[in-house]
């Protein structure tokens, strides 16, 4: 069914070969079983039997599409849809209502809440698959267009605007799940001298080289690499403790040095080097801005200590 993943490959930071993520929400197990059989081979399928459970899965797993029953105890499908569309974290997830009701008023209400389609029960598996295919492709195309707003034109990394948004979202997830979050600030040493000596075109090429190296340094689809501004880059690492973050920072510093881009005006090496500031913490230790401030402090320490090195600290610890 979903054999063409080219659109997925165009999404920065997203593993190109992953299957679409589909959430099935219904309080009746038999209905979930029917839909699961239709998609188990081609999609990564999540299942929920209540509204609160569905909302939690959407926050934690970010499905690409939700198939949502209307009539459920505790919280009906309309309320689930309303809450999904009210959150910055989940508003872009398309919702298809799957219901035994054919009342035009209910369909109108669902569409007004932000649903993209209605499918009647009992479902026809072929029709269900065709509609899901259509809405997944529309979703991926929308993601590509939306992502263009968040790309840095020079390096094709994410830009500062995207990083600021994702930092808040990942910090909120860290609060909910009490998981580690690490951040690495990367600064190209003596970059103004590099520009003055080699010219701005060479400076742009240097930044592209560093950006490409950073891209290949992080393998997980959840890791985020962005251009922070000028010659600074930032790496956001969910579910990553301090030791692992420091190891990654030191590996980046090593790889940049080994790339051996000539830098005749550097005081630390004959090649381009980087200084790195690492901060780690979780949602119980302050706010997202505190993590960023700590990384900035550690970057300053790395630069004032001789550059071409990584310094790090854990939020809340001296």
Strand, coil or helix: 165? helix
Q: Outline where the chain has alpha helix (H).
A: 6-9, 29-39, 51-61, 77-86, 104-113, 125-148, 160-177, 191-198, 200-217, 242-259, 288-304
> 125: which 2 tokens?
């598996």
Phi, psi of 21 (to 5 degrees): -95, 125
From edge to edge, which strands make up the β-sheet containing 274-281? 224-229, 232-238, 181-188, 274-281, 310-314
Asked whether 91 and 85 are in contact (CB, 8 A), the reply is: yes
Phi-psi region of 226 (alpha: psi -120 to 50; beta: other; left: phi over 0): beta
Measure the CA–CA gap between 280 and 236, rounded to whole angstroms: 10
Backbone φ and ψ of 281, nearest 5°: 180, -165
- Structure tokens belonging to residue 211: 């950006």
Candidates 79, 112, 231, 258; catalytic one: 231
Confirm whether 231 is a catalytic residue: yes
Taking the C-alpha atoms of residue 128 and residue 135, their distance in angstroms, rounded to an integer, is: 11
Q: Which residues contact 66 (CB under 8 A, 6 or more apart)?
A: 22, 23, 25, 54, 58, 84, 93, 94, 95, 96
| Pick from 36, 30, 41, 76: nearest CA to 55 | 76
Report the catalytic residues. 231
């Amino acid at each position: 069914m979903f054999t063409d993943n080219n659109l997925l490959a165009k999404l920065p930071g997203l593993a190109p070969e992953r299957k679409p993520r589909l959430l099935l929400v219904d309080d009746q197990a038999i209905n979930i079983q029917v839909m699961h059989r239709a998609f188990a081979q081609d999609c990564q399928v999540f299942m929920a039997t209540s509204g609160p459970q569905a909302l939690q899965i959407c926050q934690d797993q970010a499905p690409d599409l939700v198939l949502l029953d209307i009539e459920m105890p505790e919280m009906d499908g309309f309320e689930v849809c309303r809450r999904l569309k009210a959150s910055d974290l989940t508003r872009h997830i398309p919702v298809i209502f799957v219901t035994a009701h054919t009342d035009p008023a209910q369909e109108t209400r669902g569409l007004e809440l932000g649903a993209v389609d209605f499918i009647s029960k009992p479902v026809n598996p072929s029709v269900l698959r065709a509609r899901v295919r259509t809405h997944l492709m529309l979703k991926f195309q929308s993601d590509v267009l939306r992502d263009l707003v968040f790309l840095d034109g020079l390096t094709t990394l994410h830009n500062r605007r995207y990083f600021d948004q994702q930092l808040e979202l990942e910090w909120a997830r860290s609060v909910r799940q009490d998981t580690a979050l690490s951040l690495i600030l990367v600064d190209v040493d003596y970059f103004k001298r590099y520009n003055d000596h080699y010219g701005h075109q060479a400076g742009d090429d240097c930044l592209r080289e560093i950006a490409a190296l950073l891209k290949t340094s992080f393998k997980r689809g959840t890791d985020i690499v962005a251009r922070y501004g000028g010659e600074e880059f930032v790496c956001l690492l969910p579910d990553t403790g301090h030791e692992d973050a420091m190891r990654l920072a030191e590996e980046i510093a090593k790889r940049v040095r080994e790339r051996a881009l000539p830098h005749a005006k550097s005081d630390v090496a004959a090649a381009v080097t980087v200084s790195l500031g690492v901060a780690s913490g979780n949602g119980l230790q302050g706010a997202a801005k505190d993590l960023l401030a700590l990384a900035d402090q550690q970057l300053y320490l790395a630069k004032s200590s001789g550059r071409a090195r990584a310094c790090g600290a854990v939020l809340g610890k001296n």
